[in-house]
Amino acid sequence: MSVYITDSCINCDACIEECPATAIVSADDSPVEGGYTYVKPENCIECVDSTVPKCADVCPTEGAIVWDMPYTAEYDDYYLAGQDEGRYKFRVHKKKGMLSPANQPRPFRESVSAQARENRENVVA
């Protein structure tokens, strides 16, 4: 991914308009169960061209947006397992097939450590 929205989210939807990658959808449009605003990891580019992740910059809720693993082929199994567990739901492209990381790797912030990602640390803007 990416970043991940947790159950601390208050569904204010402030982040949706800010995302440059149209990666965020409201709870009503989320492809997974849970009732929270959702980040599509196959779209998220971690705002690598900006100084800060724009979603976190406007989010009023501590702990609502946390780091997830890079959306790269190396983590394909991780994300597919997450889909099996209901955390993600990847779109299926007509030609490319399911947009898991192996099929659609995304840019990620190399400055964020694997440890911080594994620990689901807050994305601080």
* Subset of residues 65 to 94 that bind ligand SF4, contact rule: CB under 6 A: 65
Number of residues that bind ligand SF4 (CB under 6 A): 29
Binding mask 40-69 for ligand SF4 (x = CB under 6 A): ----xxxx-----xxx--xx-x--xx----
Q: How far is the CB of 13 from ligand SF4 (least distance, A)?
A: 5
What DSSP state is assigned to residue 10? -
Residue 122: C-alpha distances to residues 9, 60, 70 (Å)? 12, 12, 15
> Residue 14 carries which side chain, given as an amino acid letter?
A
Tell which residue, 6, 84, 80, has the closest CA to residue 39.
Answer: 6
Q: How far is the CB of 41 from ligand SF4 (least distance, A)?
A: 9
Give whichever of 23 and 94 is closer to ligand SF4, judged by the CB atom. Answer: 23
End-to-end CA distance of the chain: 17
Other beta carbons within 10 Å of 38 = 22
54 close to 22: Cβ distance less than 8 angstroms = no
Q: How far is the CB of 111 from ligand SF4 (least distance, A)?
A: 13
Task: Name which position in 12, 32, 98, 112 contacts ligand SF4 (CB under 6 A).
Answer: 12
Give whichever of 21 and 80 is closer to ligand SF4, judged by the CB atom. Answer: 21
Q: How far is the CB of 107 from ligand SF4 (least distance, A)?
A: 9
